Amino acid sequence: MKVLKFGGTSVGSVENMCNVKHIINDGNKKVVVLSAMSGTTNRLVSIAQDIEAGRTNDAIDKVNVLHQNYFIVIDDLLTNTSLNSDVKNYVSRIFEGLVELTNREFTETVENIILAQGELLSTYMFTSYLKQEGIGASLLSALDFMKIDAFKEPDLPHIKRHFENVLNNAEDSEIYITQGFICLNNEGQISNLQRGGSDYTATIIGAVIKAEEVQIWTDIDGMHNNDPRYVENTSAISNLSFEEAAELAYFGAKILHPQTVTPVRKDSIPVRLKNTMKPEAHGTLISKNTSGNGIKAIAAKDNITAIKIKSARMLQAHGFLKKVFEIFETNKTSIDMITTSEVAVSLTIDDNKNLEYILAELEKIASIEVDKNQSIVCLVGHSVVNHQDTYRLFQILQDVKIRMISYGGSKNNISLLIDSKDKINTLQKLNDYLFELVTL
């Protein structure tokens, strides 16, 4: 059995839903994971922000507008009178529930309930559409099996046990539809896998059922060798290893949730990235296999803060770095890059939520310099640090001010820290020259 995930753009219009129907209607059993319709999650975030700020009337107005927008889609999608009425009743209950939430004290749980509604809406509508088209489909609630533990990691034993129960109790169908992104936390409350989490849902399910393949369908034909939002003439990469894909996803490739390949890597379950609008395109196949050495792709991660910790007296003292790392651990903040010199250590973080407390603790043991608005440019490829042409990278970027370099920590990754204002220029320079010098 395969697992296919379709993103928000793929189910963002009636035309695109029709495309998805044609893709999945091949007579083979499969699990289909859906995101919310494009734009819905952003609107739900705005509603949650209004409720938190006490702007109740604004929140209700936005709920009502979104409600009417869904009715328009339903009328275009469902010509069957009975199904049309059933889906409108379901959708109305969802939006009535959102209005009721405006009267509750705003908490993280309330916010998560609001954000979960997008996936519940899209899956109910799409399942009804398939039934209208005569395609056997069953709707499985992700809240009946998808759960994270106290560390916000997937509770795989729970998921496996409960997914099997849900599947066994469902009506036998060609296609099983479920929600991406949403889950329960360790206390049984509605939570989520963070933005892009539908990819993660798909590979988690793929891992627990030992799927033949997991397919991630989006609006772009695979992982590109550079960021097409900033650079022209990028191209899709036909094959990546799990390690290469994980590096690119973590360091900014928006097509994948950073944890996507983690669940399936152990069992070597391939992940294929495909374009809903161009299903005939090869896309990108992520597997245990490696192909070719050298730099294959570039990604960039923004909103990075660099911290230089300088202490001539203590840096070489036993236990100093341990104290530094404990400060970040206590404040639940992960570190992306790190370099050291004789008297200083520089590192980067992408989460400033606890920066004030981190700096206060660091200043007790060292002097601190902080640079915000930084970007990490990551160059990824199999054995990239050993490739004969990698040295040319530094010739290409001789006019770019590089704040930090991470080289050798991974054989598949070289990371450069630069000022964010130099990011686009850096990506363009690399694209113009590097891929002409290195065989992919």
pLDDT tens-digit readout, 325-360: 999 999 999 999 999 887 789 999 999 999 999 999
- Token couple for 309: 């910790």
Residue recorded with tokens 């009425």? 85
- As a whole number of angstroms, the distance between CA 436 and CA 164 comes to 49
- Whether the predicted pLDDT of 11 surpasses 50: yes
Name the strands in the sheet holding 137-140, side by side, starting at the edge strand that comes first in the sequence. 137-140, 175-179, 30-34, 2-6, 214-218, 271-275, 284-287, 239-241
Pairing of strands 175-179, 137-140: parallel
pLDDT band, residue 440 (cuts 50/70/90)? very low
For the beta carbon of residue 163, count every other beta carbon within 10 angstroms: 22
With residue 304 as reference, give the H or E element that holds it.
strand 297-310
Q: Into which CATH architecture does domain 297-437 fall?
A: 2-Layer Sandwich (3.30)
Pairing of strands 182-184, 338-340: unpaired
pLDDT band, residue 412 (cuts 50/70/90)? confident
- As a whole number of angstroms, the distance between CA 226 and CA 236 comes to 9
CA 53 to chain centre: 27
Average pLDDT, the chain: 91
**Three-state SS for 309?**
strand
Q: What percent of the chain has pLDDT over 90?
A: 72
- As a whole number of angstroms, the distance between CA 265 and CA 44 comes to 33
For the beta carbon of residue 142, count every other beta carbon within 10 angstroms: 27
- Token couple for 171: 């009506």
With residue 201 as reference, give the H or E element that holds it.
helix 197-208
Q: What is the mean pLDDT of residues 295-300?
A: 88
- Whether the predicted pLDDT of 438 surpasses 50: no
Question: From start to end of 92-225, where are the E strands?
Answer: 137-140, 175-179, 182-184, 190-192, 214-218
DSSP-H helix ranges across 332-422 = 355-362, 392-396
Report how far apart, in Å, the C-alpha atoms of 398 and of each of 340, 382, 391, 393, 426 are.
22, 24, 12, 9, 10
Q: What is the mean pLDDT of residues 135-161?
A: 96
CATH number for the segment(s) 2-219: 3.40.1160.10
Model pLDDT, residue 390: 64
- As a whole number of angstroms, the distance between CA 9 and CA 17 comes to 9
Residue recorded with tokens 């795989």? 156
Closest CA to 379 of 397, 358, 353, 398: 397
Predicted TM-score (pTM) of the model is: 0.89
Closest CA to 128 of 95, 162, 87, 181: 87
pLDDT band, residue 62 (cuts 50/70/90)? very high
Q: Residue 244, CB half-sphere, CA atoms under 13 Å: how many?
A: 30
pLDDT band, residue 293 (cuts 50/70/90)? low
- As a whole number of angstroms, the distance between CA 406 and CA 304 comes to 15
User: Where, residue-wise, is CATH 3.40.1160.10 in the chain?
Assistant: 2-219
Model pLDDT, residue 182: 97
Pairing of strands 271-275, 297-310: unpaired
User: Where, residue-wise, is CATH 3.30.2130.10 in the chain?
Assistant: 297-437
- Whether the predicted pLDDT of 252 surpasses 50: yes
- Whether the predicted pLDDT of 318 surpasses 80: no
- Token couple for 410: 């991974």
In our burial notation (b when 16+ CB lie closer than 10 A, e otherwise), range 45-56 reads eebbbbbeeeee
Closest CA to 239 of 260, 223, 261, 255: 223
**Three-state SS for 18?**
helix
- As a whole number of angstroms, the distance between CA 245 and CA 251 comes to 10
Q: Report the chain's C-alpha Rg in angstroms.
A: 24
Length of the chain: 440
- As a whole number of angstroms, the distance between CA 36 and CA 63 comes to 15
- As a whole number of angstroms, the distance between CA 262 and CA 107 comes to 30
Model pLDDT, residue 385: 66
